A and B are shown apart, each in its own frame.
Chain A
Amino acid sequence: MLQHIHDTIIAMATPPGVGAIGVLRLSGKDAIVIADKLFPHKDLTVAKTHTLHVGWLMHNGVPLDEVVVSIFKGPRSYTGENVVEISCHGSVFIQQKVMDACVELGARVAKPGEYTQRAFLNGKLDLTQAEAVADVIASNTEASHQASLNQMRGGFSSILKQLREELIKFSALIELELDFAMEDVEFADRTQLQNLLLTLHATTKQLIDSFRLGNVIKNGVEVAIIGKPNAGKSTLLNALLNENRAIVSDIAGTTRDTVEEVLNINGILFRLVDTAGIRQSDDAIESIGVEKSFEKMRQANLVIYLFDALTETREELADAIAMLQKDKKQFLLVANKMDTIYQPINEKMRRDDIIGISARNKEAIERLENAMVTAVTNGDVNTESTLVTNARHLSALNEVMKSLNDIQAGINNQIASDFIALDIRRCLHYLGEITGTITNEDQLDFIFSKFCIGK
C-alpha cells in the first residue's frame, strides 16, 4: 500500500516562472492549518470550503507576498483531501520562499504526479480516461520532472485513436487472409495499407517532433552565451533581461550549483546558464579564452556565440563554428557592437546567418529574441497545437515509428503477410500504450461483422 498518504504535500501548480501569477497547491489533512499559520489576516481553519481570501502571507515576522488563498475542503477538492491553493505573484523567488515556509511548517514537497495519484486513489478522478492515470504512472519514473502534472495538450490522443482504429481495421483484413485463407475471402488492399502507413508515419513524426517544443514549454530551454572577453556578454545579458522584465530573479539552483537568469520570451522560458560566469569573465578574468567559455555550454540546449563585429576575424569565427558543430549544439551567431562598423556583417564574414546587434544601444535585440524563439520552436509557437510532453509517450511513439518502418520494409520485400501482421501488432501494441489496450477481439469483431466466414 501507499506510504505517506496521510501527510500534506505542496508543489507549484503552475509552470515555474511563466505568467503574472503562480499557484502553489497544498494537499492533505493539515493543508488548511499550515496555510492558516502563514495568513495572520484571517482564521482560515474556520473558513468555508470553496472560498477565496485576500491578504499578506507572513513568515517569522517577514511579509512574503500579497496573495489570494483558495480553500477546498475534502472530499470536494481535486485530490479529495483538504486543498489550499495560494496564488502569488509570478516570481520564482517569492514562490520559493512561500514553499520553504510551508515546508518549515510541516508540508512535504510533492513527488511528481502525487496529486493525481491521490486524486484517483480517493476516487476523485475520471477514471474512464486512462490517459491521466497513465501519466501518473509515467511520472513515477521520471525523475527530472516538475511537480505539476504534465498533461498532453490538444487532440493528441484522439488523433492516435482514429489512426489506431484504421490500423485495427487493416490488421483485421490481414488476419482474415491468414485465419480464413481456405475460404472464399477477399484480400487486403495493399495500396490502402500504403496510404494508411503514410498518414500514420507523418502523424507520428509530427508528434515526435512536437516533443521538443512540448518539453521546452514545460521545462524551459537552457541557453549559454559564449564568446571572448569583451565581446559584450554581460551587456547583452542585461539588455535581454531589461527587455523581459516580467521575471527576473536570482535563485540558487537546486539541481545545479550555478546561478541562472530566467527570461520569458513570447511565453517560452529561457534559462541562461552560468550567468555568474558571464558577468565575471567580462569584467575580470582577461585570460579566459574561447575554449574556456565553450565548457559552459555543455548543458545548454541553445548556444549564443557572441563576437565583436569589429575585431573578430573570419578565421576566428570559422574556428568557433567548427567547435560548435563538433558538439552538435544548436547555435546562433551574434555580432555585437554593430555600431562600430559600416559594412553589413554578413558581407564582412561572408555568411548569411549572422545576427548583428548592438547590446549597448539595445539595437536589434528583438531580432535576436525572435531568432531564439524560432530556434526552439522551428517557427511553431502556437502552443495550442498538438504536443507531446510526456517522455513515456515519446518512447512509445518512437517504437510506433520503428514498427511503421518495419511494416514498410516488409511490404517492400514482399514478405509473408503474417510477418507484416506481426509488425502491425507491434505498432498497435505501442499505440495501445498511449490510447489504451487493443484486444484481439477488436480484430475478430471487425472480421465477423464484415465478412462471411465459415463453412
Chain B
Amino acid sequence: MFPEYDVIVAGAGHAGSEAAAAAANLGSKVLLITMNMQTIAQMSCNPAMGGIAKGQIVREIDALGGYSGIVSDKSMIQFRMLNKSKGPAMWSPRTQNDRMLFASTWRQMLEETPNVDFYQDTVKQIIVEEGVCKGVITGLGHHIASKSVVITSGTFLNGVIHIGEKQLGGGRISESAATGITEQLVSLGFESDRLKTGTPARIDGRSLDYSKMEKQDGDEEIVGFSFMDVDKPKADSQRECWITYTNQEVHDILKTGFDQSPMYQGRIQGVGPRYCPSIEDKINRFAERERHQLFVEPEGWNTVEIYVNGFSSSLPEEVQLAAMRKVPGFENCRMFRPGYAIEYDFFPPTQLTYTLETKLISNLFFAGQINGTTGYEEAACQGLMAGINAHQKAHGKEPFTLSRSEAYIGVLIDDLINKGTDEPYRMFTSRAEFRTLLRQDNADLRLTEKSYNIGLAKEDRYLKMVSKREQTERVKEILLQLPIEPIEVNMFLNEIGSSPITEKYRAAKLLLRPNIELADLITAVPKIKEALIEYSADALEQASIQLKYESYIEKEKELVDKMSQLENQIIPDSFDYNKVPALSNESRSKFLKIRPRTLGQASRISGVNPSDVQILLVYMGR
C-alpha cells in the first residue's frame, strides 16, 4: 500500500511540519503521519509566535527556508516588536495569531509542497535492523519502509492530563495519547523520563468587561517574521490584547484547591518549567507578591474565544473559575474549557548528535518536546534541522549543523545534546553568548547562503539576501565617506539636545551618538536622504545597525575567535578516556556518554569540571 519513503515524519505539530517541509523541499519523498489530519500544526497552548529569543528563532527558520515565519505572518492578528527600547540584539518580533488560520495555512502550505504524502494513523513502533532505523509500524498494522525516520511526538507519548483530582490519558485535552514507542525505545536501550507542562483556561470573550483592563495595541509598523514578501494584515486592522492582574482574593480562592492539586499531592512526577509556572505555583513560591500579571489574548479574527496568558492551572475546574471571577474584568466570565497540566515522556537529548540523530539507532531523528524542549519555535527549528539531516542522511550527504556563534538554533541544539535538560527547555537571549551577532535583523545574512548551498533556500530568497548584503555594504560606504557640514545638521542636533558639531563630520560618525538614528538623519539632512534614496529600507536598517554598534559587534567577534580555539581542537574518535587516570569519574563517564567532537564541546557538557578539559588539552599533546 505504501512505497518506500526517504523520510517518514511521525507527528505533525510544529516540529513535524517543518521536518516534512524541509525534507520534501530538499527532494526527499516524505510521508507525514499524524493521528489527526484536522490538527496539523495546532497551537496547543497560546495563540502567539515569537517573543524574546523565540522571535529570533522564527526569523532564523525563515532565513533557512522553513515555513513557520510565513505561516505566522499570514495568520497574525497583531504584531509587536518587543524590547525596541533596548539594543538591536534584543529586538524581538512577536505575533498574536488566529489559531485556526495558523493551522489551516500550515496545512495548505504542506499540501502545496511536492513530495509530501499524508496518512492519518499512529506510529506504534519503529523498524530497526542492525542498529539502523528502516521505517515504522502503525496502529493500523502498516509496515512502512523509509531511509530515515523523524519522531516529533510532542506531549503525546504516554500523555496524562491532570485537572484537580481527575486524570485522563491523552496528548491534548480530548485527544488520545500515543503508546508503544517509549516502551520499544527503552527496550532498545534509550533512557526516557517525564516532563510536565500546563495550559490555562479558555474563556468566552462575550463574558468579559474590557473596560476594567489595560489595552495593549499592536505596533504601527508590521515587520513580521519572513524575509520574503508575505501578505500581512493592515496595521490599523490589528486586534488588541488586554492586561489585567490577580489579587489577594484570587490567591485565597486558589489556595482552597491546593489539597486537590495534582502538583502538591504528588500525583504529577514530571518536572515543569520554572519560567512558565502555573498560577498556583506562582502564589505558592512567591507568596510576597500581591498580584500577578495576566495577558488576555484573543484566539482569532472570527472567534470570541480568549486565552488567559498567565493563568495556567491544574486545580479543579470550579476552583479555577471561582478564582478567575475575582480578577478585574472577569467577574462574570464563562469558561470554554479549563486549564490543565499534562505529563509526557521525553528522551534526555544527550542521547542525540548535532544532527538530532540518535546515537543508539542511526537514521532515527528526534525533534521537539520529545527532546525536552518547550515552545512552538524551539520545536519548529529542531524539526527543520532534523528534517534537513534526515534528508541528508537518506541521500548519503554531509550533515548540516549550525554553531553557537551562527544561530540561536545552534545554541539550542548544542545546549540540548551537551547539557541535557531537567525541565522543559526554553530559549532565552541570555543562553546565547553571542547574541549581539545573532540578531533578528541579520538572520538572512547569517543563514540563507548556508541553506541555499544545500538546496533548501530557493533562488529568489537567496538573491534577495545577496541584494540586501550588497546594498548594505554600499550604504555603509556612503555613510563612512559622506561629509556633513555643521550648518547642515546643527539645527537638528539642537532640537534633539545633542551637542552641535564645530567642524566637518562623516555621516557615520554622527550615527555613533546614542540618540541618533539613521532615519532621523535622513529626515533632517537632505544630503543624506539624496545619497541613500535608491536603497531598500532593509539595507538602510542593516547598515545603520552595523555602523552604530560596530564596537560591540567586534568585541563579540573577538570572543568568538577565542572560543573557536577550543572548538577547533578535535578529539579523535579513538580517544580512550579510560587511559587518562587523572580525569574525575564524573567527567569520564560524561565524556564516554556524550563523546564530544571538540574540546569546546567537551567544556560545555554539564557536570564537567574545567580542569578536566584542561587535562584533555594536555593529554592531546597541546
A interface residues (Cβ-Cβ under 8 A, vs B): 1-3, 117, 120-123, 125, 127-130, 133-134, 136-137, 140, 175, 178-184, 413-419, 421-423, 425-426, 429, 436-437, 440-441, 443-444, 448, 451-455
Contacts and interface: CB of A to CB of B under 8 A. Distances in A.
A440 B619 contact: no
B7 interface: no
Contacts of A181: 52, 82-83, 86, 90
Given A179-B52, A455-B309, A425 B433 contact: yes
B277 interface: yes
B310 A416 contact: no
Tell which of B51, B293, B312 has the most Cβ of chain A within 10 Å.
B293
Interface stretch (B104-112, B521-529, B606-614): B606-614
Given A133-B611, A179-B52, A418-B89, A121 B619 contact: yes
Given A133-B614, A179-B428, A417-B86, 6 more contacts: A129-B611, A184-B292, A436-B610, A441-B419, A443-B430, A454-B282
Given A1-B619, A120-B615, A128-B611, A418 B436 contact: yes
B90 A418 contact: yes
A178 B86 contact: yes
B581 A127 contact: no
Nearest to A185: B293
A422 B555 contact: yes
Contacts of B610: 130, 436-437
16 contacts: A2-B618, A117-B618, A121-B581, A127-B583, A128-B609, A130-B611, A130-B614, A137-B617, A137-B622, A178-B86, A418-B90, A419-B549, A425-B433, A426-B559, A441-B606, A452-B277
Contacts of A416: 85-87, 90
Contacts of B599: none
B429 interface: yes
B582 A121 contact: yes
B431 interface: yes
A122 B615 CA distance: 11
A127 B608 CA distance: 12
B621 A2 contact: yes
B582 A123 contact: yes
B603 interface: yes
A120 B549 CA distance: 45
B274 interface: yes
State the majority secondary structure of interface residues on B.
loop
A170 to B, nearest CB: 13
B365 interface: no
Nearest to B278: A454
Interface string B207-249: 0000000000000000000000000000000000000000000
B273 interface: yes
Contacts of B275: 448, 453-454
Interface string B24-46: 00000000000000000000001
Given A127-B582, A452-B282, A179 B429 contact: yes
B535 interface: no
B347 interface: no
B514 interface: yes
B90 A437 contact: no
B87 A455 contact: no
A334 B548 CA distance: 56
Nearest to A452: B286
A415 B514 contact: yes
B90 A175 contact: no
A1 B530 CA distance: 64
Nearest to B285: A452
Contacts of A125: 582
Contacts of A413: 514
B264 interface: no
Nearest to A124: B582
B406 interface: no
Interface in B287-328: 289, 292-293, 295, 309-310, 312
B124 interface: no
Contact of A418 (B289, B435, B603): B435
A444 B151 CA distance: 30
Interface residues of B, number: 58
A454 B552 contact: no
Contacts of B559: 426, 429
Contacts of B282: 452, 454
A419 B295 CA distance: 29
Complex A-B, nearest 4 residue pairs according to Cβ-Cβ distance, in ascending order: A123-B581, A416-B87, A452-B286, A130-B611
Contacts of A441: 419, 606
B622 A440 contact: no
B137 interface: no
B552 A133 contact: no
A455 B431 CA distance: 20
A121 B618 contact: yes
B327 to A, nearest CB: 14
B385 to A, nearest CB: 21
A421 B514 CA distance: 17
Contacts of A437: 603, 610
Contacts of B606: 441
A414 B85 CA distance: 12
Contacts of A417: 86-87
Nearest to B295: A455
Contact of A127 (B292, B430, B611): B611
B578 interface: no
B310 A455 contact: yes
Nearest to A129: B611
Contacts of A120: 582, 615, 618
Contacts of B435: 418
A429 B555 CA distance: 12
A112 to B, nearest CB: 13
Tell which of B275, B282, B583 has the most Cβ of chain A within 10 Å.
B275
Given A130-B610, A416-B87, A419-B552, A452 B52 contact: no
A43 B354 CA distance: 60
Contacts of A422: 436, 552, 555-556
B618 A448 contact: no
A419 B87 contact: yes
Contacts of B168: none
Interface string B424-459: 000011110101100000000000000000000000
Contacts of B289: 452
Interface string B45-64: 01000011100000000000
Contact of B581 (A122, A137, A175, A423): A122
Contact of A178 (B276, B429, B614): B429
Contacts of B285: 452
Interface in B568-622: 580-584, 603, 606, 609-612, 614-615, 617-619, 621-622
Contacts of A133: 611, 614-615
A267 B285 CA distance: 58
A179 B430 contact: yes
Contacts of A134: 611, 614
A440 B431 contact: yes
B429 A1 contact: no
Nearest to B553: A422
A179 B433 contact: no
B582 A122 contact: yes
Nearest to B431: A440
Contact of B51 (A182, A414, A453): A182
Interface in B544-573: 549, 552, 555-556, 559
A200 to B, nearest CB: 18
Contacts of A183: 293
Contacts of A2: 618-619, 621
Nearest to B200: A455
A435 B617 CA distance: 18
A443 B433 CA distance: 12
A127 B514 contact: no
Nearest to B608: A437
B614 A182 contact: no
A444 B581 contact: no
